[in-house]
Every structure is written in C-alpha cells, then in structure tokens.
A and B are shown apart, each in its own frame.
Chain A
C-alpha cells in the first residue's frame, strides 16, 4: 500500500531523461482539451438547461484560463485574485466575436453573430491561445479544481438561487417572505463573517461574498420579465437589435451602439448560451458584477488581514449603488469587473514584468470598448496615482512600480482615441463635457446660496425645493411656448378644470414614524461616517512613513480617487455629465480597502490585546449592517413608508420601472402605426418602455400636461397612467408626481388602442 502512495516518484525519473520536446508534449495538460470539447457539446445542445449551465461555467473559465496561460500569468496569482479569470474570458470573447463579426461579410456570412460562426471562431481562438501558451511553465497551468473548495463551502450559492425564486414569486404576485429572508441572511452575514473572517479560508470567503453580493443584485435584476431600471432600457434595445441583425458594424454610432459590452459581447453570449436574450442582462451580467466585491476582498488579502479584507468587501455590498443601481446599467457591470481586474493586475507584485504589462494592456483595451466613463476615470487614476505616489515618497528608498500604471494609461488613451473617434465616431460625450465646461466653466458649487460657507455648500450639494404640480404646469407651459412653437396645444387646455393635481404617494401605512425617522437618520449618519473615514484613510495611507510600495501605491490611488470624487462634487458641469454615485462605486474599490486598512492600523495600536480589534471591527460591521438595512429598506414591512421594489409590487420604483407585457405590446403597436412626422408623448418613466421595446427615440416628449400636449399628439399611456392615474414630470429639482390628466385627454383625444391597462390616445 505504501508503494501506491508514491507513483509520482517512479514516473518522474524516466520523464526527466526524455528529450525536451517529448517532455513539453507530456507537460501539456489534456484538461483544457476536455473542457473545449465539453464546451462545444454544451453550446451545440444549448436547448437543454443543463447544457446552458455547463456552457456558462466553461465560457467564464476556459477562455480566460488559456489567455492567462499564454500571458504567463502564474496560476498562484489567479488563485489569489480569481477575478482575473472572468476578466480574461470577457476579453477573449469580445475579441473573438469582433473578429468573427468583421470577417463574416468577407466570407459571405451576412449574419456572423450566430451560433455556428461564433463557435468556430471561439474554437480557433482558443486553439491559438493554447498554442501560444504551449511553452508556459507548469506554474502557469491553472487547474479549475484549485478554484473550488470542499462541497460544504458551496452553501452561499444557495442565496442567489433563493433570490431568483423570491423575485419570481413576487413577480407572480406572491408574498415577499423569501425576499425578506434573503436580505436578513445577507444582513446577518456582515457581522457574523466579520467575526469569523480570520478563521475562514480565502476561497470560502470568496464564495460567501459572491453568493451574498449576487443574491442582493438578483433581487433587483430579476424583477419583471423584462429588463428593469433606467439606462438599461436603451441598452437592451441596442443589444436586441444586434441579436436581430446578427451583425455589428463600425460607423457613426451613438455611444451605446459603439460599446461592445452592449452589442457584440451580449449577442455572442446569447448565441452561444441560448435562451431569451434578456437573460444575459438579467442574470448573466449580474453574475459577473457580483465578482466586484470578491475582487475587493482578494486585493485586500495582499496587504490586510482577512477580517479587514472582508470588511472592505462588505462596505461595497452594503451600498445601494452596488446592488440596486448597477444592475440597471449593464455596460458598467462589465466595466467595473474589468476595472477590478485592471487594478488587481496593477497592484500585483506576484506577476513578472511582461505578464503584468500584457495583462494590463489586454484589460485596458477591453475596458475601453466596454464603457467610456469607467475608462476615463481609470485613465485619470492611472496617471494620478503614480504621480502622487512618487511625489509623496520622494525621500523613501524603495522604488515604486509605476511603469505598469503609466503603460495602462497610455494603452487606454490610445485605444480610446482610436475606438471613440475614427472607429465609431462616438466620443461626443467628451465633447459634451468640454462644451459644458466651456460654457459654464467648472461651475464651482452650483448649489451654493448667497452667504453660505463653502463647507456647508459642499455637503448640501445641489438642492432646490421641489416644485408643486401647479408650478410645474406653469413653468413647463412657458418653456414650451418659448422654445417649441411647433407644438400647438388645444384652446381648452387652459380651462382651470384641467389644472394639474398633486398625486398622493403610494406609500405603505406608517406604522412607526419615530422608528423610521431614527433609522433614516442613523443610515445617513453611517453613510457620512463611511465617506469621512474614506478621506481619513486615504490621507493616512498616502502620507504614512512606513509601508511597502504596494500600500503606498494604494494610498496614492485613494487620494487620486478622492480627487476625482471631490471634483465631481464641486463642479456642477462635471456632476451634470456623470452620475456621481456611479463614480463613487468605482472609487470605492480602492477607498473601501483603505477604510478597512485604517481600522486595522488603529487595531494594531493595541499590540498586546486582541479585544480592541474585535470591538473596532465589530462596531464597524454593525454600522455596515445599519447601512445595508437602510439601503435595502428592509424595515419597510415594519415601519411603513415607500415600498422598495425588491419587496413589493407597489411604490414609486415599481410604478416607474416595472414593465409589463401589455406595455410591451402597446409600445410595439405604436411604433408600427405612427407616421414619421409626428409628436409622441410618454411621461418620464413611460418613455423607458418605448426605449426598451421600440425604436421611437425622436420627437418623444415627457410632459403629459394639457398645456403642453400638441393637438395632434400620440399619447402613450402606461399601466401606471391608466390604472393608478399617476404620471410624472421632470424638473430641475427632481421628479414631480401628479394625477394623470385623464379628464382632459379622454375629452379631446380618441383612445385608439387599449389593453385595459395601457392605452394609446390620438386625435
């Protein structure tokens, strides 16, 4: 028996004596060939859910595995920073699909973005990558089994499954008990895992973070049969058009059409995996975004304890920006993952110079074609961070590895210049920012009132008192009269009987107003504390005397992130061009680590005692718990107030964002019958249905008021308009709710289409 445990020894000696060519042939593991065959079989048989599941897993792993091997990235580095793998897979899929798309017409393929051309292209690409990696040393051979821990660690993956079931039950009108259960489980996980983190294996923690993050994301993304959110409606339309056309072209494109994360990549995934295309955005992209906190944790373990690294990842998971807003912006879901991969590679001292530069370049180019704003911020960080790090550490001896940062900035800038200008002509967002800066300057603290201090104005931000329905009616009517002379309202529109009326918010009954108020205050306080701690932590890490090059670079990247965030907060022009909360999430990738690192530095002050560290991290995890509960509105069933979309089939978000099948049918009917010369009215949220289900983009107005409706208008009335009698107007101070003007439109317009819950009116 003892002999059976030592077969490797007996085999090693003869192999060592074989000629080099034979040894290298033996070194090539057959695992990737088996995986490739399995992937092909799964894609061919993708009508089966089982085959789809296999295809999803292998598409996430195999292309990345071969690319990383060809770049000579050590397997140990990938095991430590597992986000490299899906990032590299995304890069391979995008590149392969783009090549197939471009070569297709040359080979007389009119619709190259179909299953067979893509499968052949993918096979060729993977074989080429395998060939390029043939001389890679054995330490670059990644075994997938190394990424998976024992089966007993898999339990966190039940949380996303429970989320899908919970969202489906809610979609079908059943209760929210399971959704509450998922949220409670994730909430409990934050303090519990903070306590247990140092005793948990890294892979186990990866699974906990992935399962928890994905679970809360899916509670949002899996609502409705269609995509849900704001930007994602237009994103889905461009994706769907690419799927329908089976080809993507260069040319003069709008930014969404030019982003491969919204066209080529999802079309490829859809063709290879099968099923309805909407699932790519509802399930596939969230599954990739959920790796973002995992990447935070992985990066943290390079210089922090596992407890501090977990806390950093939990800071991200607790943010509404992460689990509520990001699933509604598909392009940034992918871009954030690639950004995480890029940052991981830039701060990875385990990579050799060339593998690091290669990986940084590949991910930099991938980021450029995925999302513009994330790219701009990444370029800025890659320029500022080394500059600040070198400036702060001029007197220190150890050199800083700034070359990869500068190369990343250069590669992304060059790629952006080529992609956004001659390739797609889609860089008008840069010219828009330049134009607004030219027109209004930096527009420092635009919300500052006369006599207000700078600090007060900074914290108050942009705030104007909300307009009433009547104020909105008058201001918007004046605006139309002054700027849109081609809109001719009916004379009866000024009849006082048709004045707009404020609508009552569809809130849950207030069961405990003092409790709700106290929780809201606590959440605000905690959020401000997290922000404040980020500032302190970045300053401490950037200026502390001790520290290795890695921590000094992270500190400098933190200061650079703060600089970008502050600029966005101070400048009205910049804030108007890029949503600051999305910027915050990108910067939080670094800042969350610095916050957790700062806590750890404070805990280390008490060298001889362990309890202050426990107390510090324990208290902070409770603060995160408060933030998470507040951001998810988990207390709504108890306290009342605005019902959150992830728990109820009512409320502001449900009314605005939840599309129905009837609305889809109505939008498609309208698109089929309206003439080219027309004006269409759809309120602020109803327009999202037109964005998602039709190509109606031009001459669509949001102000469904008697005084702004053209006498020959086409009015798209959503379910909320018809059933709940509610509509919205957009003002400088936000969205104003008012009663849908049914008495006016029913009296002067014909209802030309109806499903009972939606209508089209015209005269």
Chain B
C-alpha cells in the first residue's frame, strides 16, 4: 500500500492495458501518416516495397484497319504511326523505318524526338520502298528497345 503505483493499479486494473492499446494505436497512426508522406514513400521505395511503375513505349498504327497491303506503283508510301510514352518523366527516343527482305534490312527513314510523359506523338513520313522482293515487310522500331510494328506490302514492280 505504500507504493503509489500499486494503489493506482488496484484502483483501475484496466488502465495499463488501455494505455498500451492507445500507445499501439498511436504508433500505428503515426506510421501511417509518415509512410504517406514524401519521406515515407522514399523509404518504402528504397526498401523495394512501394509499387514501381515500369516505363514503356506504345508504338502503333493509328488506323490499323486502313493499312495498305499493296504498294502504290510509285513505290512511295505515306506511313503514319503513333508513339506514346508511359512513364513518370519526358523521354527522348529515336525511331527508324526499315525495309526487310531476304534477311536484309534497308533503312528508309529515321528521326528522334522528345515525347512528354503519357502523351502521344503521331509521326507521318513518306518513304520510298525498294521492293527487293515481291513481298516486303516494313519495320518501324524504337532504338534501344524491342518495340516494333510491321507492315507487309506486295510490290507491283519487284526489282
């Protein structure tokens, strides 16, 4: 009876449990607030826990149903393709159009540009196809990436 703490416990035996619960809930609340902050997110990222969005490029023909299958007699073709960058920052990239026939590739056009994040750039180029065989494949690719789209064409005047 001489110890004040003993008296306190005897008067309210539930109090320590309640205090501990409040302490635990308080800690959980603080942790939740901290990990939602920029600092917390950085810590989670360093620990490999937060979701990391892997950037990638979408390359496509905007009108896939209207693609030609026959090359015009002039051997010239207006090629339209679109590039969209899915990532967290602007991205510089280079593209290339080539003609593939008999295991050889001939460059027809190329370029580079900066695409804003989550934005689409449409590129239109007129290319002259060499038509080394009766059926040729045009290849549009992005440098340093496996992203590529293709278009098969029948040449009216193969060389």
Contact = CB atoms under 8 A, between A and B. Distances in A.
18 contacts: A1-B10, A5-B11, A49-B36, A50-B33, A145-B18, A150-B20, A151-B23, A165-B47, A172-B49, A661-B53, A665-B86, A669-B60, A673-B65, A750-B149, A752-B64, A753-B149, A756-B56, A756-B57
B149 A5 contact: no
Interface stretch (B24-32, B71-79, B102-110, B125-133): B24-32
A755 B20 contact: no
A1 B58 contact: no
A750 B48 contact: no
Nearest to B55: A661
A752 B24 contact: no
Q: Which secondary structure dominates chain B's binding surface?
A: mixed
A515 to B, nearest CB: 31
B60 A172 contact: no
Interface string A1-37: 1001100000000000000000000000000000000
Given A50-B32, A50-B33, A165-B49, A752 B145 contact: no
B68 to A, nearest CB: 10
B96 interface: no
Contacts of A169: 48-49
A1 B7 contact: yes
A571 interface: no
B36 A48 contact: yes
A714 to B, nearest CB: 8
A471 to B, nearest CB: 31
Contacts of A168: 48-51
Nearest to A151: B20
Contacts of B152: 748-750, 763
Contacts of B20: 150-151
A325 B64 CA distance: 39
Contact of B67 (A151, A746, A750, A757): A750
B65 A754 contact: no
Contacts, number: 107
A145 B14 CA distance: 11
A5 B151 CA distance: 88
Given A50-B32, A751-B148, A661 B51 contact: no
B147 interface: yes
Interface in A711-763: 746, 748-757, 760, 762-763
Given A665-B86, A669-B60, A752 B67 contact: yes
Nearest to B152: A750
A171 B24 CA distance: 30
Nearest to A169: B48
A753 B146 contact: no
- Kindly name the residue among B35, B67, B147, B151 whose own CB sees the greatest number of chain A CB atoms within 10 A: B147
Nearest to A675: B65
B36 to A, nearest CB: 5
A5 B53 CA distance: 59
Contacts of A754: 58-60, 147-149
Contacts of B17: 150-151
A746 B21 contact: no
A48 B30 CA distance: 12
B146 A757 contact: yes
B31 to A, nearest CB: 9
Contact of B51 (A50, A174, A225): A225
A403 B39 CA distance: 60
Contacts of B10: 1, 5
Contact of B24 (A154, A661, A751, A757): A154
A662 interface: yes
A184 interface: no
B58 A753 contact: yes
A430 interface: no
A746 B49 CA distance: 39
A53 interface: yes
A430 to B, nearest CB: 42
A751 B150 contact: yes
Contacts of A154: 24
B79 to A, nearest CB: 12
A185 interface: no
B95 interface: no
B44 to A, nearest CB: 9
- Kindly name the residue among B23, B35, B56, B146 whose own CB sees the greatest number of chain A CB atoms within 10 A: B56
Nearest to A5: B11
A602 interface: no
Nearest to A762: B64
Interface string A659-678: 00110010001000101000
A148 interface: yes
Given A754-B60, A755-B147, A760-B64, 6 more contacts: A151-B21, A165-B49, A661-B86, A750-B61, A752-B61, A753-B61
Contacts of A749: 152
A669 B24 CA distance: 47
B5 interface: no
Contacts of B47: 165
Contacts of A50: 29, 32-33, 36
Nearest to A678: B65
A673 B64 contact: yes
Contact of A661 (B56, B57, B145, B149): B56
Contacts of A53: 28, 32
B35 A49 contact: yes
Contacts of A171: 51
Nearest to B19: A151
A664 B48 CA distance: 23
B7 to A, nearest CB: 6
Contacts of A757: 56, 146
Interface in A134-172: 145, 148, 150-151, 154, 165, 168-169, 171-172
Nearest to A149: B17
Contacts of A750: 61, 64, 67, 149-152
Contacts of B11: 1, 4-5
Nearest to A714: B64
B3 interface: no
A4 B61 CA distance: 82
Interface in B102-159: 142, 145-152
Given A168-B50, A225-B51, A48 B61 contact: no
For the complex of A and B, 5 pairs with smallest distance between CB atoms: A752-B64, A753-B60, A756-B147, A151-B20, A50-B32
Nearest to A164: B49
A165 B51 CA distance: 11
Nearest to B63: A673
B2 interface: no
A754 B64 CA distance: 12
B37 to A, nearest CB: 10
Contacts of A172: 48-49, 51-52
Contact of A49 (B32, B57, B145): B32
Contacts of B49: 165, 168-169, 172
A662 B84 CA distance: 12
Contacts of A1: 7, 10-11
A748 B59 CA distance: 20
Contacts of B149: 750-754
A756 B151 contact: no
A50 B24 CA distance: 14
Contacts of A662: 56
Contacts of A746: 150
A174 B50 CA distance: 12
A617 B18 CA distance: 36
B144 to A, nearest CB: 11
B36 A752 contact: no
Contacts of B69: 763
A762 B150 CA distance: 10
A273 B57 CA distance: 33
Nearest to A759: B149
A746 B135 CA distance: 13
